[in-house]
Amino acid sequence: FKQKTAYEIRLSLVGSEMCIRDSSRLYSIADDSGLVVPELGFEPGIYSARYAGENSTDALNRDKLRSCIKDLGKESLEAYFVCVIVGIQDESDPLPIVSSGTVHGKVSIHESGESGFGYDKLFYPDGFDLSMASIDAETKNKISHRGKASKNFIEKFKKIGS
C-alpha cells in the first residue's frame, strides 16, 4: 500500500502540473508503473526505470535486481507490478480520476522470453509458467497492471459523461 500511495501522489502532482501548463482545457492523463518487491523493501518501486542508476538500461536494472535476489540466497521473490493512471480536467478539478492495476507473481534470477521490456523477462505472473516477456500480447493485455488500470480508468471516465 505504501508504494501505491507514492504512485498516486506522484501522478496527482504530474497531472496537476500538466494542466497548469496546458491552457487548452482538454482532459490531461498521466500514468506511471513499476515493479514492487516487498522483500527488497518495496524496491525498485517508483525508481523502477532507474533502479541501477540515473542512466541505467533495462538490462542493467534486471542485473541489479538479480543481484539483490541472489544476495538473499534465493532464486525468486514474490513481487507485483503496479500501474496508476491519473486524469484531470484542469488545475481546479476537485475530483481527478485515479485508477490502478496490479499483477502479482514472482521475480526470478532466470530470464526468459523475447518480447516486452523492463523487468518482463524476470517476472512470472501467478498462474503462468511463462515470464511476461513470453506471454502473447492479447493475454498480457488482459492480465497486466497497465491493462487493468486502463480498463478501470475508461470505466470511470465514461461515468463522467453519464
Q: Which residues are catalytic, by number?
A: 32
- State the residue for C-alpha cell 527488497: 40
DSSP 120: T
Among the listed residues 94, 121, 86, 118, the one whose alpha carbon sits nearest the alpha carbon of residue 107: 121
Contact between 121 and 111 (Cβ < 8 Å): yes
Which three three-digit cell numbers place residue 62?
534486471
Among the listed residues 63, 18, 67, the one whose alpha carbon sits nearest the alpha carbon of residue 40: 67
Q: Show Cβ contacts of residue 98 under 8 Å, excluding neighbours closer than 6 positions.
A: 8, 11, 12, 84, 85, 86
CA 43 to chain centroid: 12
Round to whole Å and give the CA distance between 144 and 160. 25
